[in-house]
Amino acid sequence: MNAYVFPGQGSQKPGMGLDLYENYNESKIYFKKANEVLNFNITELMFEGSSEDLIKTSVTQPAIFIHSVVHSLISKNFNPQASAGHSLGEFSALSACKAISFEDGLKLVSIRANAMQTACEKNPGSMAAILGIDDSIIENVCSNIEKIIQPANYNCPGQLVISGESDAIKIACEELTNLGAKRAIILPVSGAFHSELMSSAAEELEHSINQTDFNDPVCPIYQNYNAKPETNKDSIKRNLLLQLTNPVLWSQSVTRMIEDGFKNFFELGPGNTLQGLIRKIDSQVNTSKLVI
């Protein structure tokens, strides 16, 4: 069975989406619509902007959403039996699978991105990737630090990202290195995503989600918050909000999908990050970019 996956923040790159725009006339409709919805020329930044232009959260998240969802909308091979997205990518998955319209999904992503950016400015924090040590050791170290710090992204075995107050992140990195972690890398991000420091962003996003029309998706969406397949729109809305302050259970989601019979994973949007993570979770499954 086939599953379709959508990347999150960090997969952006200069020129993203330009190949779709130049080679597929249908895509031009959606790129134009995106500029109208956002009320600024985001496609110019996507096609011609530098890495610095694309790194700001308020630009990055809508850009990745646009690229990913347009990829699904113009592909004749997009016929999902299941779907999942990494963090921001969950919104892409929901739009591609008809739970929310392209326009509404883009509006929510823009609101989410701006709310997260504001939360970062109010409550500065940081994140770090911890490599080559058991998740349980990382969890234990975080729980024993008397500051805001928690697991944020369970990406694959041996790769867990932590998030929280900057001084707590530094303490954890030092302790985990001493305990045998192969690497502890402070990430170049603007704040502590998927932690308690994003609570104000969740509050701001809640109103917008409640004002948006959701449908039951055309296939199960394996959500970040609980790594379970969801088809009920009310459960999906609740889990989208919980996602902002809780860890992304990506490794657990992929494992559950494989247990449920999905052996072929197709990535949409920019980059190949998720294919690499999925192969580290289970080297026996098939991964590829979705062909248009």
188 pLDDT above the threshold of 90? no
Catalytic residues: 87, 194
Alpha carbon of 132 to those of 93, 139, 160, 175, 181: distances in Å? Answer: 30, 14, 9, 14, 5
Could you report the per-residue pLDDT of 211-247, keeping only the tens digit for each?
A: 999 999 999 999 999 999 999 999 999 999 999 999 9
Amino acid letter, 133:
I
If you average pLDDT over residues 134-150, what whole number do you get?
A: 97
Q: Look over the chain and give the mean of its residue pLDDT values, rounded to a whole number.
A: 96
Q: How confident is the model at residue 253 (pLDDT cuts 50, 70, 90)?
A: very high
Distance of CA 123 to the CA centre of its chain: 21
90: CB partners within 8 A, 6+ apart: 6, 84, 221, 223, 224, 240, 243
Q: For residue 201, which of 86, 121, 92 has the smallest C-alpha distance?
A: 121
Domains plus CATH for the chain?
2-121+195-289 (3.40.366.10), 124-186 (3.30.70.250)
Give the C-alpha separation, 30 to 78, whole Å: 17
Maximum CA extent, the chain: 55
Residue 57's pLDDT is 87
- Helix (H/G/I), strand (E/B), else coil: 259: helix
Tell me the β-bridge partners of 230.
221
- Size of the chain, expressed as the number of residues it contains: 292
Query: For the ranges 41-50, 52-61, 78-87, 151-160, which has the lowest average pLDDT?
Result: 52-61
81 contacts 5 by C-beta, under 8 angstroms: no
Smallest CA-to-CA distance from 233 within 244, 210, 211, 217 is with: 217
Edge-first strand order for the sheet with 149-156 is 149-156, 159-164, 126-131, 183-186
pLDDT in tens, 61-103: 999 999 999 999 999 999 999 999 999 999 999 999 999 999 9
What's the pTM? Answer: 0.95
pLDDT per position as a tens digit, 21-41: 999 999 999 999 999 999 999
Question: With bands split at pLDDT 50, 70 and 90, how would you rate the model's confidence at 189?
Answer: confident
| Residue pair 96/268 in contact by the 8 Å Cβ criterion | yes
Nearest to 290 by CA among 270, 261, 276, 263: 270
